[in-house]
Amino acid sequence: MNSTTPHFWRDPRLPFIEARAIEDGRQLSYGRHAHAVFSIGAVTAGQSWYLHEDKRLRIAQGTVVLMNPDAVHACNPIEDQPWSYVMFYVDAAWFGGIQQACEGRGNSRFRPLVPVLSHEAGLFRGLIALYADLLAPDLDLLDKHEAALKFFMQVHYTLGGAAPRMTKASPRVERAAAFIDAHYRSSLTLADICHAANLSEGYLIRAFEQRFHLTPHAYLVNRRIQHAQARLREGAAITDCAQEAGFADQAHLQRAFKRHLAVTPGRYRA
């Protein structure tokens, strides 16, 4: 395995968390994308560009980055400078339960975090320690589960708090997104989306990107990638994933998956 090959960790007994590490990110390029889960990671060496919705930030070793579910983002190298990182992808409902326990409230729904990054040294050390614990062959399942709980309690106590309430876009723009969410596995046209939301093409493109930081087509492809990821984690065949997610064929899935996540579907499933 070469230094640019992503290392993925997952355990079906701990289905709420997945980890990924890259030792040298110079050859990896990510398109703007979003995850359906909460994501948190850290730069372990070097530096890179961090795009988070409408922000473009330079981050370096020791920086912890955070993405709430559906936050559009991408991290890419600065020229040819080496950099490495570790990421966790966490089920938002599971994290919401931790937030509930920490706050003593009755609602276990996930509350989005405000910061998009942190330079808090203790949080960085905790993240690196959790990654080591999850990969440690001598730790049993309970040890790993407890380590994950303790770290995400640390995340909450360090950075917790509800994000400010956002002003909603036009209900018709929200309706357009809901239509894509419900029909992303079908062959959609821009006319289909406009008709469902009762919007003109020009207004839809402008308002949709302003609200979701993705064009309607990019949002559609991102939903298909999320579906394929979930099925690949279950061990489904790549051909089946492509068909189920709404891609024309396996080649289209391969290209989109690599563009979004800088890894092939086969490598991700393995």
Over residues 225-250, the pLDDT tens digits come to 999 999 998 899 999 999 999 998 89
Average pLDDT of every residue of the chain: 87
pLDDT of 1 over the 70 cut: no
Residue 165 and residue 183: Cα distance in Å, rounded?
28
Residue 236, helix vs strand vs coil: coil
pLDDT band, very low/low/confident/very high, at 270 (cuts 50, 70, 90): confident
Share of residues in the chain with pLDDT > 70 (%): 94
Q: Which residue, 218, 246, 177, is CA-closest to 72?
A: 218
Please answer whether residues 41 and 64 qualify as being in contact, where contact means their C-beta atoms are separated by less than 8 angstroms: yes
Residue 9, judged by CB atoms within 10 A of its CB (0-12, 13-18, 19+), counts as: middle
Domains and CATH numbers, the chain: 7-159 (2.60.120.10), 171-269 (1.10.10.60)
Maximum C-alpha span of the chain: 59
Task: Please state the pTM of the whole predicted model.
Answer: 0.69
**Span of 11-25, 157-171, 251-265 with lowest mean pLDDT:** 157-171
Q: 37 vs 270, which has greater pLDDT?
A: 37
Please answer whether residues 134 and 19 qualify as being in contact, where contact means their C-beta atoms are separated by less than 8 angstroms: yes
Q: Output the six-digit token pair for 235.
A: 């061990």
pLDDT (tens digit, 9 = 90+) per residue, 97-154?
888 878 877 777 899 999 999 999 999 999 999 999 999 988 888 888 989 988 998 9
- Which element (helix H / strand E) includes 42? strand 38-52
